[in-house]
Amino acid sequence: MKCIIAEKPSVARDIARIVGATHKEEGCFSGNGHVVTWAFGHLVTLAMPEAYGFPTYSREQLPIIPDPFRLVVRQIRKGTTYTDDPSALKQLNIIRKCFDRSDRIIVATDAGREGELIFRLIYAYLDCRKPFDRLWISSLTDKAIREGLSRPADGRQYDRLYLSGKARSEADWLVGINASRALSIARGGAYSLGRVQTPTLSMICRRYIEHRDFRSVPFWKIHALPTGLSVRAIGETTYESRKVADRAMEDLDPREALIVSSVSVQTNPVPPPLLYDLTALQKEANKRYGYTAEKTLSLAQSLYEKKCTTYPRTGSRYISEDIFEEIPSLLESLKDDPDYGDYVEKLTAGTLNRRSVDDTKVTDHHAILLTGEKSGNLTRDEEVLYRMITVRMLESFSEAAIEETLTATLAQREHRFGIKAKRRVKSGWKAVRGSVEEPIEEGETVVDSFPERQEGDRLDVFGFEMTEHQTKPKPLYTEATLLSAMEHAGREVADEEARKALAGCGIGTPATRAAIIETLILREYIRREKKSLIPTEKGLSVYKLVAGRKIADAEMTGAWEVALAAIEAGAMDERTFGKSIEVYTRQICEELLTTAAGNTDDHYKTYRCPLCGNDSVRVFPKIAKCVTDGCGFKVFRELCGTLLSKEHIHALMTDGCTPLLCRLTGKSGKTFNARLKLDKDGGTSFIFDSKPRKPQT
C-alpha cells in the first residue's frame, strides 16, 4: 500500500481518480493499492514562546532561542492563550492512520520550498520513519501527474530544499518573536516586527515621507516648432526663473532658421519580453487591472489547480530545452482561439524565439505557461489572468520587433534643441496586442516616417513656445512598484561592494511577497489608497522607532535570501546560517531594548478646545475632537490625500497653524502646498504657499 499526501483536497481528489483510489473515506480516498490524503496549509508549526516557559514579556528573558525548536499542531488564539486547531488535529490523526497502513509515502504537496516544509513538519511531528518518494511536477494535468507518478524521485534528494525551508521558518520565528517582544517591552505597547515585514514597511515609509515633504518648484522649457515636421524640438536648457526664460524667448527669432548640428538614425531590434514568473505576473496585473498581489496569486493558484496553467509560485522567467520542445504543441492548442488563432498560425509556421530558453536560469520550476487544457468554468478574473498568460506566451516566442530611432540636434546661435522620434519597421512580437502599449520616453514621438535631413541643413520655424513644469517627487509605491523594489532590494544598497554582492537579490520570495503586503495591512501599518500603498500613523510610528536599526535593514534581509538559496543548493551549511541568525537576534534585542519608553510619541496630549475652552481635545487615529458633551469641535486627520501627523496636530492646536503641508491633492487632482490654519469659529482654512522653493537634493 502506498500513501500519497497532497497539499489540498482538490489535488488529492484528482490524484485519487488517476490512481484508482475511488473509495471516499473521512479525510482520504482509498483503493487500488493506494490511500490518498491531504494537508491544508501548515498543519504543524513551530511552538510559541509559551511552550518554552515564556508566557509573559520580560526583558531578562530575551533573546528567546529554543534549542531545539518544538513542533506543535497549528495553533489558534483564544483570548490571551493559544490552543490546538481542532480541524488541524483531526486531519493529522487521519494522516497518521494513512501513514501507518502504508509501506511507502509519495509526497505530492506543492513542489517548492513551502510545500516541502509542509510535508516534512508533518512527517517529523508524527515521528514517521516510512520511506518516501517525491512527486515533482509543474502542472496538475492528468498527463503530468501520470508521468510524475511513473518516475517519482527519492524523497531524500530534496533534503536541502527542506533544510532551506526549515532555516527560513526558524529565522522568521527568532527575529519576529524577539524583536516584537523587545520593542513592546521598551516602549510599553504592543508591536509586531518581522524579518521581512519590517524592512518592507521601512521602504514604504521612507518613500511616503520623501513624497510628503517634497517641495515642488517650477521650471520652464522652450520648444522650437520646425516647419514641415510633425515633432517639436525640445530645448536642452532648463530655466529655473521665468524672467530668464522670457529673456531667452526674446532672443529667439522665428525668422531665423535652425541649423542641424547633428543627426543620426539607428535601427534597433526590440526583443520580446520574457515569460512571466509570479512577481512579473503580479506587477503586470496590478498595473493593468489594479489586482492586488494577493489576488493575482490566488487567481494563479486557482488556474493551476484547474489544470489551465503551470505552477505559479516560480521565481524563474525561463524554460528548459526539454520544455521548449513542447511549446509548438501548446501553441497549437490556441489555433481555434477567436482572438489569437490567426496569429498562432503565422507564429507556428516560422521559427520560435528562444530568448526565454535557458537551462541555467530555471530553478525549482520554470516560467508560467499554459498547459494546453482549459477549464470551461473560469471566473471573469481568472479569464483575465489566463488571457494575460496567453498573450505573454505568444509574445515571448515571437520574433523581435524592429524600430528606428531618429536623434537630431538643432541650434539657433547658442540655443540648442533636440528631436527624438521613432518608427516601427517591423512589428514582430508587438503585433500580438496590435498596438504599442509600452510607455514612450519623455520627449519622444512616434512617427510613420523620418524627414531626410543632413548635418548643416537649415530648418525654418513657424515659432517657439514656452512651457511651465513642476519638479515631481518619486511616486508613492503601488503594489507593482513595491514588488519590483522588493525583488531588486539589492539595488538600493548604498555601499558599492555590498550592492554588487547582492545584485539581483530581493527580500522575500515570489511566493511570500503578497503575504508580506497583506500582513502589513492586517497590522494596520499601511493601507491602500486607490493604487498607492500609504503608511498609517501606526506604521509611521513603528518606522520612526526602527529606522536605522538592523531590523529595518533590507541589505541584511536580502543577504539572508541569498544564504537560504545557498543552503538549498548545498553551498552553505544550515547550522552556519542558524548561528548567524542567533547572533543577529541578540544584536536587535540589545538595540531595541535601549529604545527608551520616555521618548515615545504614542501617548497623545490633550489640548484646549477653541470652542468650549475645556482641555478636552483628544487625538485619535483618524480625527482630533473635543470629547466634551455637546461640543462639536473636530479636525479630520485625513486631509487632501495627506495624513496630519501628531506634530501637525500639536502645532495646529498650540500655535493655530501647521507647518507647511506639501503635496496636498485638490479635487481636480492637482497638488499644492499650504498651511492649515485654525479659525476663531473652530473651523479650518488654508494659507497657501506662494514662494517657490528650489528642489531639495
Closest CA to 159 of 138, 134, 139: 134
Closest CA to 63 of 210, 179, 229: 179
DSSP class of residue 399 equals P
The answer to whether 311 is a known catalytic residue is yes
Q: Which residue in this structure is represented by grid cell 513542447?
A: 326
Task: Please calculate the CA angle 578-582-587 and round it to the nearest 5 degrees.
Answer: 145
Catalytic-role residue among 239, 311, 343, 525: 311
Do β-strands 415-426 and 233-235 pair in parallel, antiparallel, or remain unpaired? antiparallel
Look up residue 585 and give its amino acid. T
User: How many CA within 13 A on the CB side of residue 173?
Assistant: 20
Which sign, positive or negative, has the C-alpha torsion 320, 326, 327, 328?
Answer: positive
Distance of alpha carbon 246 from alpha carbon 511, whole angstroms = 55
DSSP class of residue 657 equals B
Where residue 53 falls (left for φ over 0; alpha for ψ -120 to 50; beta otherwise) is: left
User: How many CA within 13 A on the CB side of residue 459?
Assistant: 31
116 SS3 class: helix
Whether 124 and 173 have beta carbons less than 8 Å apart is answered as no
Helix (H) or strand (E) holding 558: helix 554-569
Strands (E), 393-548: 401-412, 415-426, 444-446, 458-459, 461-470, 526-529, 532-535
DSSP class of residue 333 equals T
Q: Which residue in this structure is represented by grid cell 524523497?
A: 155
Residues with catalytic function: 311
